[in-house]
Amino acid sequence: MEMLQRPRRLRGNGVIRNMVRETRISKNSLMYPVFVREGSGIEEEIPTLPGQFRYSPDKLLYKLETLSKAGVPSVMLFGIPDHKDEWGTSAWVEDGVVQKALRQAKEAFPNLYYVTDVCMCEYTSHGHCGILCGHDVDNDKTLPRLAQIALSHVQAGADMVAPSDMMDGRILAIRRELDKNGYENTPIMSYAVKYASSFYGPFREAAGSAPSFGDRKSYQMDFHNRMEGVKEAELDLQEGADILMVKPAMAYLDVVKEIADRFPMVPTAAYSVSGEYAMIKAAAQKGWIDETQVACETAVNIFRAGADILITYYAQELAGWIAEGRIG
């Protein structure tokens, strides 16, 4: 049979497959999310996220050493305070948990790149992402507080801030506050396209950030919508966002591709969230899947869709698998 085109020619062995590979993964594109809680000597495993821990600032340093040795270049810090109130005041105080962790981490491991989650849900007694007016989150009253949180993080040593609240106008508010205080070169990674997702369940238990009433559907996006995400990303870009994030990742690869294709002038980040990680872990523990192969395949899928940066609880393992040649 005459066939001039035989795609299998380029699949004959590992050498040629690696040579023509379209999607390549680097350790440099990985970011590890980590939970920091107040106190000392604390390293407590999170039941819904096997292999993940809440660290006090002193114990965090040991984890950062491991990440640094593995070649993971950046971390994203989430704070868990002892004190919560209606206004989330622990989020921006000078001796807050993230602020303390940043100072210690930057001194011990200045080679790592530190990104901080900017939100109020972990710090408010009601668990919502902003200032309440009755049972509604007041968008405009929340903006100054978010800007204040971002500034406090940068003053404590954050290299980048990542607002996750989904308030309208928060990128501009943060950009103006940082610029006004001399931090015009500090980048903002916007949670530009963040859906009201059921995949966040394990994170909310880990961070103690579940809302005490209602839900977040009035500010996080409806998962039925794709073009609304384009609008959100475009607005954030106009307001000064340097990186656009899509969250969650695995079930939203069409949105990752949409954002990457429409806004190639800035990097696209994707957050493979707690529920995605927990599902892989649970199935692997049952012996139903090969954890390494599924985690690697999932990561490749996200990059293939167009992500430039992957925020994942598997960052350390992926860095090891890249070094071993299992993925790359």
Where in the sequence numbering do the catalytic residues fall? 194, 247
128/111 Cα distance (integer angstroms): 34
Judge whether 41 and 59 are in contact, CB under 8 Å: yes
Nearest to 59 by CA among 38, 77, 41: 41
312 contact partners, CB below 8 Å, separation of at least 6: 30, 31, 32, 33, 271, 272, 277, 299, 318
Q: CA-CA distances (angstroms) from residue 2 to 5, 6, 74, 140?
A: 9, 10, 52, 68
For 186, half-sphere exposure in the C-beta direction (CA atoms, 13 angstrom radius) is 28
- Residue 184 CB-density burial (10 A; 0-12 exposed, 13-18 middle, 19+ buried): exposed
DSSP letter for each residue of 174-243: HHHHHHHTT-TT--BEEEEEEB--GGGHHHHHHHT---SSS-STTTSBPTT-SHHHHHHHHHHHHTT-SE
> Is the sign of the CA dihedral 34, 37, 43, 47 positive or negative?
negative
Q: CA-CA distances (angstroms) from residue 232 to 194, 220, 243, 254?
A: 9, 11, 13, 16
Which pair of structure tokens corresponds to residue 219?
């500010």
Q: Where are the beta strands (DSSP E) in the chain?
A: 30-37, 43-46, 49-55, 74-80, 113-118, 132-133, 136-137, 160-163, 189-194, 243-247, 268-272, 309-312
> Is the sign of the CA dihedral 301, 72, 242, 52 positive or negative?
positive
